[in-house]
Structure 1
Amino acid sequence: MNRSRLLSISGTEKSRLANGHPFSALDDFYKAALDAIWAVTFPLDLKDSVVNAQRNLLSGTASIDTSSTDIDEPTSFPEAPIPDAQNSILTLTESLESVMISPTPKLTFWLISKLPYMRKARAAKETMIATELEKAKARFSDRKETARCAMDDILRRELISAEKEGREPNYNTRTISDELFGLLIAGHDTTSTTATWGLKLLSDNQGVQKKLRGAIRGGFPTAIAESRRPTAEEISKAHIPYLDATQEEIIRKSMTAGAITRQAMVDTVILGHHIPKGTNVFLMGNGPEFIEPPIGEVPEDRRSKSCRDAKGRISSWDPSDSNLFKPERWITIEDGKETFDSTSGPLLTFGLGPRGCFGRRMAYLELKIALVLLLWNFELQNVPVLFATLELPIGIILSLRYNDIIFIFIHIFAKASSLS
């Protein structure tokens, strides 16, 4: 059973217990994304997953009394305890929120790092990584083990480098430990934020949701014929242009990463402006040209030759609807058939070139599986007016436009959420 199916089952159990009331999906995606990145970084048995623990708890809960609350009031659920190792990562990640919004980040970081719960979390994180490293070293003792996760791949690369250099491999380095920790943080909050935005956008745009569900069901005729959900393998191999387009539009509109930065290594000139060495240059992906009309044309004489040569490789968005959630903008028609075109317009969420996000393919696959299984099993209704908001508590992933991290409330069908 894959983790996305566990998420779907957890949603089914919540729907049963909510009895027609809305409920928060943010926590579900937060935990599912943690399981996913954990399994990518270290081997993780499904029985040890955070989502599985929550699913088991909900499955064993007969009912929740919602009779005393209004039908539009959200339902709260019991929470399964999170293992110390995963909880330490969540604690350390969430501590960054206070640092990011503080006017004195260095002082705030220093003060928080001295608190007992932070020292405990750091110690748990170090112990967890050291333990996983020892397990991985044992797996590679015969040098025949196939890499099953990022940690295995890192150790295999170190082993190969050591053999080439005629030395003993050194696995217990600060760099390896920090890279693994960085992968856990970078691959967790970003994915869960984008996925929850996807639910918000689909619940707000019923026409898109209906069209996407039709495209998804049309893309898995075998699953339909056998009255089952598509498997993760089937989803990963599926070619459904409107699904690809919807994913891309969710990523565009979620603005999970509103900007990427690069530091000028030498004195340079950008569009006619002198940029001194050492300057941090912010490349914004959440404003004009991306989700708003362009400010104006850049004079051609300010562009470098490479810039002029690159012009036109990526199309521009129609300024009249660039603010709308419209997957069709990523669709072109070839020989009478819809085709997904990733060059239809600008998108900088994952960066570009050698410094582009190496987890991009994994993020797309996670979102694809989640969208297919959720829309296969649920219909997302418009949320109650009370929760139809764009305001959220600030988290690790900050939108530079509106603090756009959405706390999603999904209004599941009161009688039967499952459409399978």
Structure 2
Amino acid sequence: MARNDFRQPDYHRRGISDDFFGFMLAGHDTSATTVAWGLKYLTDNPDVQTRLREDLRVSNLTALEENRAPTAHELASTQIPSLEAVVEEQDTTILDCSIQKGTNNLLMANGPCKYAVPDRWLKKDTRTGSDVFDPMSGPQLAFGLGSRACFGRGFALQELKIQLALIVWHFVLDIHLQS
């Protein structure tokens, strides 16, 4: 932002320390909530969970052969399109209806329009025929845009991907019905 304002950055101003504490403390609730809902959606969609587990193991053969979980570094440095797709999944339409500018939308968090379809974020690579993650397949404004966007976006997405990957690596998520 300093460059855009044609000034030297001031690394010792109060706002920097406030932002740091917000980054380290305030963001943890949203990440934890996102992981919890991600686990719920993976539980409700065992086919997506199975595909993610298979892709994780194929993408981390060394860890699999050594009978261990992949490290955070291995997960962060490996392209796993289905993991990216699960993290980015969100709906882009409302019941196939065109919503006019300025319309208020309430209670959109349930129903078929919210079902997990992470494949919408995957495209076939024309050269290799394999799936690749396409971040432009749908809108994603969870972190805002522009110079005021959340600077913790990269950290939050890495944290989310690593947690979901390790949970799916170790556990099969299933619904337990009480009798």
Q: Do they fold alike, i.e. is TM over 0.5?
A: yes
Point out which structure has higher relative CO (alpha carbons under 8 A, 6+ apart).
2
What percent of counterpart residues are identical?
43
Equivalent residue for 1:216, pick from 44, 53, 56: 56
Answering whether residue 13 of structure 2 is matched by residue 178 of structure 1, we say no
**Is residue 337 from structure 1 mapped to residue 149 from structure 2 by the alignment?**
no
Question: In the alignment, is the contact (CA less than 8 A) between 1:244 and 1:340 conserved in 2?
Answer: yes
> Structure 1 residue 185: deviation in Å?
3.9
* Deviation for aligned residue 1:345: 1.4
Matched, 1:327 2:113: no
CA distance in 1, matches of 2:139, 2:167: 28
Residue aligned with 1:347, SS: coil
Q: Name the CA shift for 1:297/1:366 in 2 (closer, same or farther; >3 Å).
A: closer
Distance change >3 Å, CA 175–CA 352, structure 1 → 2 = closer
1:356 aligns with 2:149: yes
Equivalences for 1:301-316 in 2 at 5 Å?
Answer: none
Q: Which runs of 4+ in 1 moved over 4 A?
A: none
Partner Cα distance (2:19, 2:157) in 1? 21
Q: 5+ unaligned residues in a row in structure 1: which ranges?
A: 1-159, 163-168, 253-288, 300-320, 387-420
In structure 2, relative to structure 1, the CA distance for the partners of 1:357 and 1:383 (3 Å cut) is farther
Q: RMSD between aligned alpha carbons?
A: 2.6
Deviations 1:295-329 (A, max 9, x none): 42769xxxxxxxxxxxxxxxxxxxxx643201101
Given that 1:290 and 1:347 are in contact with CA atoms closer than 8 Å, whether structure 2 keeps it comes out as: no
3-state secondary structure, aligned to 1:339: strand
Q: Aligned partners of 2:176, 2:39: CA distance in 1, in Å?
A: 11
What do residues 195-242 of structure 1 show as CA deviations (whole Å, max 9, x unaligned)?
A: 001111111111111111111111101111211111111111010111
What amino acid maps onto 1:359 in structure 2? G
Distance 1:297 1:195 in 2: 30
Aligned counterpart, 1:240: 80
**Any gaps of 5 or more consecutive residues in structure 2?**
1-7, 102-111
Tell me which of 25, 28, 40 is aligned to 1:200. 40
The structural deviation recorded for 1:348 is: 1.5
Structure-2 residue corresponding to 1:377: 170
Measured in 2, the distance between the counterparts of 1:347 and 1:293 equals: 19
Q: Give TM-score scaled by structure 1 length.
A: 0.35
Following superposition, the deviation at residue 291 of structure 1 comes to 5.2
1:365-397 CA distance string (max 9 Å, x none): 1011111211111111114369xxxxxxxxxxx
Secondary structure of the corresponding residue to residue 325 of structure 1: coil
TM-score (norm 2): 0.78
Distance 1:208 1:373 in 2: 15
Q: Which of these two proteins has the greater Rg computed from alpha carbons?
A: 1
Corresponding position of 1:293: 95
Q: Distance in 1 between matches of 2:154 and 2:19?
A: 19
**SS of the residue 2:123 aligns to:** strand
3-state SS of the aligned residue for 1:332? strand
1:405 paired residue number: none
Higher strand share goes to which structure?
1
Q: Secondary structure at the match of 2:143?
A: coil
Distance 2:125 2:23 in 1: 39
Post-superposition Cα deviations, 1:390-409, rounded to whole Å, max 9, x if no partner, equal xxxxxxxxxxxxxxxxxxxx
How far apart are the structure 1 equivalents of 2:24 and 2:69? 29
Partner-residue secondary structure (3-state), 2:74: helix
Q: Structure 1 residues 333, 184: closer, same or farther in 2, change over 3 A? A: same
